[in-house]
Amino acid sequence: MIAQSAVLDEGVVVHHPDLVNLYGCRVGSGTRIGTFVEIQKNAVIGRNCKISSHSFICEGVTLEDGVFVGHGVMFTNDLFPRAVTAEGTLQTDSDWTVVPTLVGARASLGSNATILAGVTIGEGAIVGAGAVVTRDVAPFAVVAGVPAAVIGRASDAPQTSSHQETLQ
């Protein structure tokens, strides 16, 4: 379902509109969205992104332009999720704070990667399939593993860049 609260700019392609869940989000022009994707309220998707099937983009996530999201990528927006408060009552929206997450322009997130709340993935970075990103990723770094660690540098990185090749 694509709710009326979802703002889709011109040229957005949703491959199976009846098999997605988009509400309260903004999706930039030219972006393609696969089947069984959920994008929640207050998520912002840039222009010309590709979001593959079975991915979950929660409230508080921003993808800049040209980001690739592989199949089954999951984002979180709460560092300490709970079903109930300390008093044992059911938790409500007022009992927690969204922790924002940013994925820089032209970054690539491999299938089944998990991106924890509050991280920044730098421009042009590559996150390997199945990685769990728990800390910031420098621009053009290539990370993989659980937890994600730097294993290289993206081949399209500027050669004169002074970016660190470590998780920050």
1-33 pLDDT tens trace: 999 999 999 999 999 999 999 999 999 999 999
User: Which of 124, 128, 97, 98 has the alpha carbon at shortest distance from 110?
Assistant: 128
**What DSSP assignment string belongs to 100-115?**
-EEE-TT-EE-TT-EE
Q: Do residues 31 and 45 make contact, with C-beta atoms less than 8 angstroms apart?
A: yes
> What's the confidence (pLDDT) of residue 89?
86
Cα–Cα dist 149/167, whole Å: 7
Is residue 146 predicted with pLDDT exceeding 60? yes
Is residue 105 predicted with pLDDT exceeding 60? yes
- Residue spans per domain, the chain: 7-79+93-153
55-87 pLDDT tens trace: 999 999 999 999 999 999 999 999 888 888 788
Is residue 161 predicted with pLDDT exceeding 70? no
Name the CATH architecture for the domain at 7-79+93-153.
3 Solenoid (2.160)
CA angle, residues 144, 51, 143, in degrees to nearest 5 = 10
Q: For the whole model, what pTM was predicted? A: 0.90
